[in-house]
Amino acid sequence: MDKERKLIIAGNWKMNKTVAEALDLVNGLKLELGKVKDVDIVVCPPFTALGEVSKAILSARNLALGAQNMSEHKPGAYTGEIAAQMLKEFSVRYVILGHSERRIYQLESDELISKKAQAAHAAALKPIVCVGETLTEREAGQMEKVLETQVRGSLAALTKDQMVETVVAYEPVWAIGTGKTATAQQAQDAHAFIRAQLAKIFDEAVARKVRIQYGGSVKPANARELMSLPDVDGALVGGAALEVRSFADIVKNSI
Ligand code: PGA
């Protein structure tokens, strides 16, 4: 597939996998995906498995490591938190920020996500910043307003250079873990809208470079169509990233 931007496909393992299970999964992915080129493949295990998965992918050139969250603070007295510097120790390169589950269960605000994104860049980590509307918001005709608020609120404080190194994940909340995927038209419309917001906040050149992933019930069967859309530059995969076969097939079907 000839895309303007390099595809980035990330597996968000969420609160799943013991260290042993994480190693099984990543070793399987190494075998399946070892020869795949021209796509950035990222695995995001839970914090407890980062160390071992990091060692396991040392020999895999095309697999990068991501975390699922981090603190906005530098190391210090923040019980239970993990700082960017600690992720760097395990060669983490990406960090998912503002996932809808964190926005909902931990009440993360755009303001907090913005601070985390800035802290990630300060440590040379690439944030994957998630945005997306709920079903109620979509049905009330508020999708664009919600996306505009989230994009501006969580990204506008970045510099242009930082924005280019940031990945945005459009994840309609109603499509996450529900088996419902946005239609090709819904995904393309939302992605184009997000890119237009980035052009307004930064400029056209920045907006053209930013990779926007789609997330929400991505599967081997729908990956190709979604990845072929002009403004879709990758996927953030939850459930289907927990097994070698389905995640490997998503990657292979996308290229
Ligand atoms: P899903 O999750 O693929 O299970 O819908 C996507 C996500 O939450 O990133």
| pLDDT computed for residue 1 by the predictor | 61
Answer yes or no: is the C-beta of 218 below 6 A from any ligand 1 atom.
yes
Q: Is residue 190 within 8 Å of 145, Cβ to Cβ?
A: no
Mean pLDDT computed over every residue of the chain: 96
What tens digit of pLDDT does each residue of 93-111 get? 999 999 999 999 999 999 9
Q: Please choose from 9, 12, 16, 219 the residue to mutate so as to test ligand 1's pocket, defined by most ligand atoms within 8 A of CB.
A: 12
pLDDT reading at 46 higher than 80: yes
Both tokens of residue 207?
A: 């907006």
Structural contact between residues 212 and 194, judged by C-beta atoms closer than 8 angstroms: yes
For residue 3, what pLDDT is reported? Answer: 81
67: pLDDT confidence band, cut at 50, 70 and 90? very high
Residues 98-129 as b/e (b if ≥16 CB within 10 A, e otherwise) read: bbbbbbeeeebebebbbbbbebbbebebbbbb
Predicted local distance difference test score (pLDDT) of residue 181 = 86
∠149-152-155 over CA atoms, to 5°? 135
At 163-202, the pLDDT tens digits run 999 999 999 999 988 888 889 999 999 999 999 999 999 9
Residue 2 has pLDDT above 70, yes or no: no
**96 Cβ inside 6 Å of ligand 1:** no
Ligand 1, atom 7, lies closest to the CA of 238
CA of 203 to the centre of ligand 1 (A): 30
Does the active-site annotation cover 171? yes
Question: Residue 59: which H helix or E strand, with range?
Answer: none
Percent above pLDDT 70 for the chain: 99
